[in-house]
Amino acid sequence: MIDHAWTEATLTASRPQAVAALLRYFRNLDDAEEAYQEACLRALRTWTSKGPPRDPIAWLIMVGRNAALDQKRKTQRLTELPDEALLSDLEDVETPMAERLDNSQYRDDVLRLMFICCHPDLPATQQIPLALRVVSGLSVKQIARAFLLGEAAMEQRITRAKAKVANAGVPFDTPGPVERAERLAAVMQMVYLVFNEGYSAGPKDDARADLAEEAIRLGRLLLRMFQAEPDVMGLLALMLLQHARQPARFDANGDAVLMEDQDRSLWRPNLIQEGLALIDKAMRHNRASPYLLQAAIAALHARAPRFADTDWPGIDALYATLERLQPSPVITLNRAVAVSKTKGPQAALDMIDPLGERLSGYFHHHGARGGLLLQLDRKREAREAFDRAIALANTAAEAAHIRMHIDRLIAESGEAARA
Amino acid sequence: MMYAVLCYNNEEMVCGWTKDQDEAVMAQLSKVHERWEKAGKLKPSIRLLPTSAATTLHKQKDMVLDGPFAETKETLLGFYIIDVSGLDEAVVFARELAAANPGGAYELRPIHLYLPGAPIESAYEADRQYAGEKVSA
C-alpha cells in the first residue's frame, strides 16, 4: 500500500531527470513532456496496485519512452510509410531497465533541459515560465497566477518560448568541460531569477512566493549533480539563507519589515543551518565566487542574534571582494549600507553619489539615499529621494515602506510648523 | 541491548515538505519519542541535515570529497557524534580515526536536531528488567 502523497511527491521530484532523459531520446520538448505525462498516468495506476518501483525515475523514463514509441508505431501504421530510420534510431538507444542510469548521464540530461529554458535568445520573462513549465512541471494555470497573467496569455508565452528554443538547436551530444561550465553558469542564473521572483513577492501573493521554494528545489538538484562545485553550494546557501527570513519579512498588515526590525526568532533555523554548512563546505575550495560571497554576507546577517550584533566590518569586506570580482553599482550601493554602519552616513553617501547617473532608475538607490540623508538631518533632500523612490517601487511592499518614511517626514514638518 | 535505529526516506521529498508539513510530521514523531523517553528507553535522537551538506573522507586515498558516501559495497558500521567548530575540525577528527582504522570512509553530516533523550544509565536497568521478564516468563 503506498499513499497518494508519496506518489505525487515522487512524480514531482522525478520530473526533471525523467523529462531530461526523454528529451535526449525524442529530441523534442513536446514529445518528451507528453511521454512523461503518459508515464505518470501509468504510474498512478500501476504503483497503487503493484507497489512502487525500486528506482522510480528509471521506471518513468522506461515506461514513458515505450508508451511514446507504441503511440508512434500505431500512428505510423496508419500513415503510408513507417519512418523506419527514426524507429531504429530510437531502438538503438534502448537501455534495459536493469542498466543503471549513471549520475553523469542524468547530469548532462538535466543540465541540457534546464539550459534550453535559459537560452540566450529568450528574454527572462519567457525563460522563467518555460523553466517552471518544463523543468518543474507547474501547470500553466499555476504559472499564470504567479505572474498575475491570464492563463491564455501565459500559454501563448510558453508556446512562443518553446518554438524559439526548438529553432535554436541546442546540441544533444555530451558537452565538453567548457561548454558544461557555461551551461551551468547560465542555469544557475536562471534558478536565481526564479528565486528572486518568489522572494520579491508580496505577503499575500502565495502563488508567486512558492517560486522561491521551487528555486531551492532546483538548486538542490543542481548540487546533487555538481557536488563539488563551490559556486553551486554558494547559490543554494544564498537562497536558503534568504528564504529563512521569509516568515519575518512581513508584519500582520502585510507591510514589509526591514531586516533591522525583524523578529529573528521567526527565521527558519533549519534553512540557516543548512546554508551555513554549505558555506563551510564551499570555503574549503578557496575559490571566491559571486554567489558564495553573497551567501557569506547573508550568513553574517543570519549569525547575528540581534541586528545590533551584525558584523558590519565583515560585511563591508565581503562586499569589497564582491565589488572587485563583479564590479557593479548595485554592489557598491549595498556596500555603502555596510559602510554607513561602520563609518557613518556621510561616508556612505560619498560612495553612493557618484553612482547617481547609473542608478537613477533604481528604487533601492533612492530609498537608501533617502535613509542616509535622513540620518544626516537633510530632510528636504531626503523627501526628494523618497519621492523618487516611491515612483520607482516595484511592489506594493516597497512602496508602503517608503510611504512610511514620507508620512513621518510630513508629520514631523507639520509638528515643526505648529511649534 | 541498545539499538541504533537508522532512518531512511526519499530526501528530495522530505526537503520539499512545507514548513507546516514538516512540523506536522515532527509533532507526530514527538508523541512517540515522548512515550519511549518516559520509559527511559529512548536515548539521543538525531536529525541530519540533507546530503547536500555532506562531505566524505575516503580513507585509503585520504581524499576529502564533497557529497555523501555513495558506495554500495560498504555498509554503515557505526557513528560518532562530535561537537566541533566546523567542517575543518570535523575532518581533523575523521583523519585521526582513519589513521587508527584504515579502509572505508567517513561521511560527515551536520546535525540539524539533537534531542538528548533519557540518560544512558537507565538503559541497562531497562535491559535487566527485560531480561528478567523473559527469564521469569
Q: What is the pLDDT of residues A312-345, one digit of tens each?
A: 999 999 999 999 999 999 999 999 999 999 999 9
Sheet of B63-66, strand order: B63-66, B55-58, B105-108
* 8 A C-beta contact, residue A359 and residue A389: no
Burial label, A260 (beta-carbon count in 10 A; 0-12, 13-18, 19+): exposed
Calculate how close chain B gets to A333, using CA atoms only, in Å: 32
Compute CA A239 distance to the chain's CA centroid, rounded to the nearest angstrom. Answer: 8
**∠ CA A158-A164-A170, rounded to 5°:** 115
Min Cα separation A280/chain B (Å): 6
Residues of B in contact with A281 (CB under 8 A): 53, 55, 66, 87
* pLDDT for residue A76 is more than 70: no
Band (A225; pLDDT cuts 50, 70, 90): confident
CA distance A36 to A68: 9
Cβ neighbours of A143 (radius 10 Å)? 25
Amino acid of residue A328: S
- Is A217 in contact with B15 (Cβ distance < 8 A)? yes
Kindly list the domain boundaries of chain B, sorted by start residue. 11-136
Distance of CA A20 to the CA centre of its chain: 19
How far apart (Å, rounded) are the C-alpha atoms in residues B95 and A401?
A: 52
What pLDDT is recorded for position B136?
Answer: 61
Residues of B in Cβ contact (< 8 Å) with A2? none
How many CB pairs below 8 Å do chains A and B form together? 64
pLDDT at B125 exceeding the cut of 70: no
* pLDDT at residue A257, rounded to an integer: 86
Query: A247 in the Ramachandran plot: left (φ > 0), alpha (ψ -120 to 50) or beta?
Result: alpha
Are residues A274 and B49 in contact, defined by beta-carbon separation less than 8 angstroms? yes
From the number of C-beta atoms within 10 Å of its C-beta (0-12, 13-18, 19+), residue A80 rates as exposed
Choose the mutation target among B14, B17, B19, B52 for the interface with A, i.e. most A CBs under 10 Å: B52
Alpha-carbon gap, residue A362 to A347, rounded angstroms: 21
Instruction: Name the CA radius of gyration of chain B, rounded.
Output: 18
CA atoms within 13 A on the CB side of A1: 0
- A84 has pLDDT over 50: no
pLDDT digits (tens, 9 = 90+) for A9-18: 888 888 998 9
What span, in angstroms and rounded, lies between the C-alpha atoms of A79 and A83?
Answer: 10
Q: What distance in Å separates the CA atoms of residue B39 and residue A359, rounded to the nearest whole number?
A: 65
Q: How much is the pLDDT for B104?
A: 87
pLDDT band at B102 (very low <50, low <70, confident <90, very high): confident
Name the helix (H) or strand (E) containing B56.
strand B55-58
Highest-pLDDT range among A200-209, A248-257, B10-19:
A248-257
Its sign, for the CA torsion A388, A389, A395, A400, is: negative
The widest CA-to-CA distance across chain A, in whole angstroms, is 93
- A6, A12, A15, A270: best to mutate for the B interface, most B CBs within 10 A: A270
User: What pLDDT is recorded for position A293?
Assistant: 97
Handedness of CA B29, B31, B32, B38 (dihedral sign): positive
Which strand (E) or helix (H) includes residue B119? none
Q: What is the mean pLDDT of residues A386-397?
A: 86
* SS3 at position B45: strand
Contact check, Cβ <8 Å, A284/B64:
yes
Residue A189 has pLDDT above 80, yes or no: yes
Instruction: Pick the more confident residue, A285 or B135.
Output: A285
What is the spatial distance between Cα A33 and Cα A106, in angstroms, rounded to a whole number? 17
| Smallest CA–CA distance from B65 into chain A, residue | A228
CB contact under 8 A, A277 and B88: no
Scan residues 22-51 of B and list those with Cβ closer than 8 Å to A: 22, 49-51
Sequence-separated (6 or more) residues with CB below 8 Å from residue A70: none
Q: Contact A10/B13, CB-based, under 8 Å?
A: yes
- Taking Cα atoms as reference points, which of B50, B65, B49, B83 lies closest to residue A281? B65
H or E element in which residue A177 lies: helix A177-199
Q: Residues of A with CB below 8 A from B86's CB?
A: 280
CB of B53 within 8 Å of a chain A CB? The answer is: yes
Whether the per-residue pLDDT at A357 is higher than 90: the answer is no
- d(CA B37, CA B56) in angstroms, rounded, equals 32
Domain boundaries, chain A: 4-101, 104-221
Are A9 and B87 within 8 A, CB to CB? no
Which of A9, A270, A281 shows the shortest C-beta gap to B55? A281
Whole-number pLDDT of residue A77: 62
Is the pLDDT confidence value at A98 over 50? no
Q: What share of chain B is helix, strand, coil (3-state, %, to 5)?
A: 45, 15, 40
- CB contact (8 A) between residue A227 and residue B16: no
**How confident is residue A375, by pLDDT bands cut at 50, 70 and 90?**
very high
State the alpha helices, DSSP H only, in A200-328.
206-225, 230-244, 269-283, 290-303, 312-325
CA-CA-CA-CA torsion sign (A213, A215, A216, A220): positive
Tell me whether residues A220 and B15 touch, CB distance under 8 A: yes
Mutate to test the interface with A, among B55, B66, B113 (most CBs of A within 10 A): B66
Q: Which residues of B touch A4 (CB under 8 A)?
A: none
What distance in Å separates the CA atoms of residue A21 and residue A19, rounded to the nearest whole number? 5
A184 versus B120: the higher-pLDDT residue is A184
Is pLDDT above 60 for A96?
no
Chain B residues in contact with A228 by the CB 8 A cut-off are: 65-67
Closest CB to B19 among A268, A278, A281: A268
Instruction: Give residue-wise pLDDT tens across range A115-164.
Output: 888 888 888 888 889 999 988 888 899 888 888 889 999 999 999 998 88
Residues of chain A whose beta carbon is less than 8 angstroms from a beta carbon of chain B are 6, 9-10, 12-13, 213, 217, 220-221, 223-224, 227-228, 233, 236, 247, 268, 270, 273-274, 277-278, 280-281, 284
Q: Which of B51, B86, B110 sits opposite A273 (nearest CB)?
A: B110
- For residue A97, the model assigns a pLDDT of 38
Rounded to an integer, the average pLDDT of A284-307 is: 94
Q: Which pLDDT score, from 0 to 100, does residue A103 have?
A: 59
